């Protein structure tokens, strides 16, 4: 039997077209192409590795997506799934699943279906009542439409690239150019054709997300299936098709920060930064607390771990702060003074507590901590029809006065998506970044999704539903780009 040769790549003005038995895609000219064992294709360059695999499957895209979302967190410890979005640019039903995995995780050592993109339907979660589909514009390209308004950081947002800037694909952060450096970020494009399931998995260093988003999405948006998809499967791409219920997110355990100390002990600890330590201070209640918690030795010695905590405080640097207002009217905070590789972190031990856990975290662990506190997890990002709201109304709702901030009847009746989000309990997160005049204001509406509160223009405030994966990108930029 003669085995036909694999078609060679075809150069185009946009790059080089690669073909497998199931898809075509376009890669940058300077990227490498190979076919390792167990894959249909692997291309790589600019710190990005894209792997294509396929296998027989007659499952629907909803079944495959549910299986993938259910398996990822459970079979690979520490994985945080941050987004799941409809994707129709490949001429076949698709979902884009994005997740972060710790640098210590070897996905190739995981269960084979997870490493290749799990999706057997055997462990599917039951599918409750379907939710509305996104607006038609979102189904045309696999990205969400830009509503055209500016947010509080002054940038325009379009789809997955939250900052609206073009990125030089050849420039990367030196901290994360090797495969072993830092956490990894994965964009997993899952496609179904009625006969096959196709996984196109793009992986890069988390620190490189901003600088590589443009080239990654250029490759993903170039993917096209080569077979004819049955009409029954194409129905799933209709703008009016119901979306499957998303599997509840399983968040990894919150990174351990360090011992908890009260406000007096914290003031004593901060007073040590940049000054000669007076061991007589150990006789005070605050000093004794520092000794009991292991932050200072019994004879006044300063452990290396405490020296690392004190380092950023010596320069009076301003922290990155996440302040959260919860539905029960309590408040919690995370403050982080970031350095080159690590951050000194203060974390409220409980809402409204007068104690904080203090310690150092790697920057990747800090991103994970903030993402967990905000509750970033997959949610369908169904756009609202009302991009701007009266400022007074928004301020009252952010302040927790849901009764005084009821949506006007006309808006509620005309915009059911906004009405559902508005009526849910809110956790409001303010991410304050050094040198930025306004915080990022993020709303998590329980069991509905996320929204961002943007700039005030006149007596109106920008308000839009936001993709959780975009919020995760904002965290990465805020921490790793600070």
Q: Which of 82-96, 125-139, 225-239, 248-262 has the highest mean pLDDT?
A: 82-96
pLDDT(426) > 90: yes
User: What is the structure's pLDDT at 299?
Assistant: 82
User: What is the structure's pLDDT at 482?
Assistant: 54
Average pLDDT on 455-461 reads 95
Give Cα 76 to chain centroid, integer Å.
17
Delimiting residues of CATH 3.40.1000.10 domain(s) in the chain: 10-237
Give Cα 325 to chain centroid, integer Å.
21
- Containing 266, the helix (H) or strand (E) segment is helix 263-271
> What's the whole-number average pLDDT of the chain?
83
User: What is the structure's pLDDT at 10?
Assistant: 56
User: What is the structure's pLDDT at 481?
Assistant: 77
Distance CA 200, CA 216 (A): 11
Q: Which residue has the tokens 């895609």?
A: 25
Q: Which two tokens stand for residue 13?
A: 């003005």
User: What is the structure's pLDDT at 158?
Assistant: 40
Q: Which two tokens stand for residue 449?
A: 């999704």
Angle at 213 between CA 211 and CA 219, to 5 degrees: 130
Q: pLDDT digit string (tens) for 468-479?
A: 999 999 999 999
Angle at 424 between CA 420 and CA 427, to 5 degrees: 135
Q: What is the DSSP letter of 223?
A: -
pLDDT(171) > 80: no
Write down the H helix ranges in 51-143: 61-75, 112-115, 136-141
Picking from 215, 244, 313, 300, the residue whose alpha carbon sits closest to that of residue 273 is: 313
Q: Which CATH architecture has domain 10-237?
A: 3-Layer(aba) Sandwich (3.40)
Report the b/e string of 152-189 with b at 16+ CB within 10 A: bbeeebbbbbbbeeebebeebbeebeeeebbbbbbbbb
Task: Classify the C-alpha dihedral 467-468-471-473 as positive or negative.
Answer: negative
Instruction: Tell me the CA distances in angstroms from 344 to 68, 267, 480, one per residue in order.
Output: 35, 15, 14
Distance CA 462, CA 128 (A): 32
- Containing 270, the helix (H) or strand (E) segment is helix 263-271
Average pLDDT on 232-239 reads 88
Any residues with CB less than 8 A from the CB of 77 and at least 6 apart, and which? 105, 252
Gyration radius from the chain CA atoms: 24
Q: pLDDT digit string (tens) for 345-395?
A: 999 988 877 899 999 999 999 999 999 999 999 999 998 999 999 999 999
Q: Which two tokens stand for residue 401?
A: 């006065």
Give Cα 52 to chain centroid, integer Å.
23
- Containing 304, the helix (H) or strand (E) segment is helix 304-310
**β-pair partners for 183:** none
- % the chain with pLDDT above 70: 80
User: What is the structure's pLDDT at 331?
Assistant: 94
Q: pLDDT digit string (tens) for 63-77?
A: 999 999 988 876 567
Distance CA 294, CA 354 (A): 19
**β-pair partners for 456:** 461
Task: Classify the C-alpha dihedral 353-423-373-323 as positive or negative.
Answer: negative
Picking from 41, 23, 22, the residue whose alpha carbon sits closest to that of residue 31 is: 41
pLDDT(130) > 60: no
């Amino acid at each position: 039997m003669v085995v036909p040769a694999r078609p060679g790549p075809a150069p185009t003005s946009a790059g080089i077209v690669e073909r497998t038995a199931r898809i075509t895609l376009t890669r940058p000219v300077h990227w490498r192409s190979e076919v390792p064992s167990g894959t249909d294709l692997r291309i790589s360059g600019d710190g990005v590795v894209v792997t294509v695999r396929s296998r027989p499957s007659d499952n629907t895209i909803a079944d495959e997506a549910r299986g993938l979302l259910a398996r990822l967190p459970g079979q690979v410890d520490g994985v945080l799934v941050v987004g799941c979005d409809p994707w129709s640019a490949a001429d076949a039903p698709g979902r884009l699943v994005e997740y972060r995995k710790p640098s210590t995780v070897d996905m190739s050592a995981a269960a084979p279906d997870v490493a290749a993109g799990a999706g057997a339907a055997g462990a599917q979660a039951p599918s409750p009542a379907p939710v509305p589909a996104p607006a038609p514009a979102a189904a045309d390209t696999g990205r969400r439409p830009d509503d055209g308004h500016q947010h509080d950081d002054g940038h325009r947002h379009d789809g997955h690239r939250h900052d609206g800037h073009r990125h030089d694909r050849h420039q990367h952060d030196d901290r994360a150019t090797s495969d072993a450096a830092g956490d990894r970020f994965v964009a997993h494009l899952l496609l179904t054709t009625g006969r096959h399931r196709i996984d196109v998995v793009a992986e890069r260093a988390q620190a490189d997300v901003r600088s590589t988003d443009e080239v990654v999405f250029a490759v993903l948006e170039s993917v096209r299936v080569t077979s004819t998809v049955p009409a029954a499967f194409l129905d799933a791409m209709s703008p009016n098709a119901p979306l499957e219920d998303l599997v509840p997110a399983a968040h990894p355990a919150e990174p351990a920060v360090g011992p908890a100390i009260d406000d007096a002990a914290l003031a004593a600890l901060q007073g040590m930064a940049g000054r000669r330590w007076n061991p007589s201070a150990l006789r005070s209640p605050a000093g004794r607390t520092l000794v009991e918690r292991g932050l200072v030795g019994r004879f006044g010695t300063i452990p290396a771990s405490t020296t690392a905590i004190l380092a950023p405080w010596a320069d009076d640097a301003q922290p990155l702060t996440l302040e959260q207002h919860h539905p029960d009217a309590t408040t919690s905070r995370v403050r982080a003074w970031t350095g080159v590789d690590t951050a000194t972190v203060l974390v409220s031990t409980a809402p409204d507590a007068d104690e904080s856990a203090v310690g150092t975290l790697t920057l990747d662990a800090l991103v994970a901590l903030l993402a967990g506190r905000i509750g970033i997890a997959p949610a369908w990002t169904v756009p609202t029809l009302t991009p701007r709201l009266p400022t007074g109304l928004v301020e009252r709702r952010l302040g927790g006065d849901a009764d005084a901030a009821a949506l006007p009847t006309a808006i509620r009746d005309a915009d059911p998506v906004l009405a559902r989000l508005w009526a849910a309990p809110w956790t409001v997160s303010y991410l304050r970044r050094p040198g930025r005049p306004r915080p990022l204001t993020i709303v998590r509406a329980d069991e509905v999704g996320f929204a961002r509160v943007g700039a005030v223009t006149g007596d109106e405030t920008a308000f839009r539903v936001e993709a959780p994966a975009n919020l995760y990108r904002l965290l990465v930029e805020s921490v790793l780009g600070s």
